[in-house]
Amino acid sequence: CSETEMLRSKGYILRNTIGQGTYSKVKRACSIAMKRDIAIKIISRDDAPEVFRKKFLPREVEVLSILEHPSIVKVFEIFETKNPARLYIVTEYFHNGDLLDHVKSKGSMDEMVARPVIADVCRAGSYLHHNNISHRDIKCENILLHVVPGCKGAAYQAKLCDFGFARRFPTRTSGQGWLSNTFCGSAAYASPEILERKLHNPMSADVWATGVVVFITVFGAMPFDDTDIRTMVKMQKRGDVTHHRSNKVSVIASELIGSILRPHPRHRPTMQGILRHRW
């Protein structure tokens, strides 16, 4: 039977495509049992390279199978088919799009609106790190927004999604933490140690990426120009983001961003540290 018929037999009515990757796509669908819209990520094993099938995909499934947090997109079901070889991940669907969509269409967020959004992201990150998991692809596109009903003015709940690069690390046995030499995610959100291909703590890299998210959310612009990676790394190490200063952004917000975007990983706060900041 066709994919549409197969999914209907499982209780899902396919709608439109809402995302497209190299070897995956995300479709909106309706769950007959739950009577609500859901999202289905469809991954083609046949089209994916071996390193993805044997390394990244098993990690994503492992991580998704254990996650349960209000600031992380809920997974309802994971199943696969053999012919064609496809993996299906059924999750919550958000009508309000992602944080990047919001910034592109409406510009920077007012800080009163941005605070709970960033807090949700940090709570998700803290939960992951507490469970020895690094997301490794925190970016505005992977932060989905849900309008909080009954609030005067704009108010959003944020949920972290897309765990395609996530990895669960062994339980930490020393103060050194975990080290990785894998380049994951987007260069625009990558920390200097990743861009320089150094062994790095992926948890600290998640924190750096969160700092970039904070910057984009309140300034409506990227902190660094990623068209030239060498120049970008130099700017990162100098902390050269001053040309984006705005009278609309508070000193406290700028202080928080500066404390996160520190060149040396050990000088950055943890996710909990960001949550405790006075901003």
Question: Which residues fall in the annotated binding site for ATP?
Answer: 41
Clarify whether 137 is annotated catalytic: yes
- Cα–Cα distance measured from residue 26 to residue 17, given in angstroms and rounded to the nearest whole number: 6
| Nearest-angstrom CA–CA distance, 209 and 213 | 6
Which residues lie across from 75 on neighbouring strands? 91
d(C-alpha 45, C-alpha 72), whole Å? 25
Is the peptide bond preceding residue 84 cis, with omega within 30 degrees of 0? Answer: yes
- Catalytic member of 98, 137, 162, 206: 137
Q: Give the ranges where the chain is alpha helix by DSSP (H).
A: 3-9, 50-51, 57-64, 99-106, 111-130, 192-195, 202-219, 229-238, 251-260, 271-276
Rounded Cα gap, residues 28 and 16, in angstroms: 6
Answer yes or no: are the C-beta atoms of 224 and 215 closer than 8 Å.
no
What are the residue ranges of helices labelled H in 85-187? 99-106, 111-130
Rounded to a whole number of angstroms, the distance between the first and last alpha carbons of the chain is: 54
Beta-bridge mates of residue 272: none
Query: Under a CB-based contact definition with an 8 Å cutoff, are residues 131 and 168 in contact?
Result: yes
* 235 SS3 class: helix
What is the Cα–Cα distance from 276 to 260, expressed in whole angstroms? Answer: 13
Q: Active-site positions?
A: 137
